[in-house]
Amino acid sequence: MQLGTFGPPSPVLPSRRHGRLTFGHFCTNTLVVRGAEFIRKLQKIGRAHGLAVRVVASRGKGSHATLYLGTAFTTIKDRKKEIGPGLLKAMLKDLGLTEGDLK
């Protein structure tokens, strides 16, 4: 054992071994979006698929609102702030969409 090393050597990833390292290997591809931008993108998706998109501010407390995409709905936290990756994924799941649908 050499001085300064702790534990077993780290494994080499197969993609690194062959020199084909892509962006998603060490840095996740998360989408950062604000509430207002999220609504605009959903309106575009709604128009493309013939679905009604409504934002009902009265169905939420404070800055929260309910967003309907056809018959599916989710709660929008705040239109001016960024939506975190976990919350964005949950909102898209509520609406039956994926992150790829927003891009």
Extents of the domains making up the chain? 28-102
- Of all residues in the chain, what percent carry a pLDDT higher than 90? 51
Whole-angstrom Cα distance, residue 93 to residue 101?
A: 12
Angstrom distances, CA of residue 92 to CA of 22, 63, 88, 99:
25, 19, 6, 7
pLDDT (0 to 100) of residue 31: 75
The pTM (predicted TM-score) of the whole model is 0.70
Rounded mean pLDDT for each run of 10 residues along the chain, 103 residues in total: 54 54 58 90 95 92 93 93 92 93 85
In CATH, what is the architecture of 28-102? 2-Layer Sandwich (3.30)
Angstrom distances, CA of residue 93 to CA of 72, 85, 86, 88:
10, 12, 11, 9
pLDDT (0 to 100) of residue 89: 92
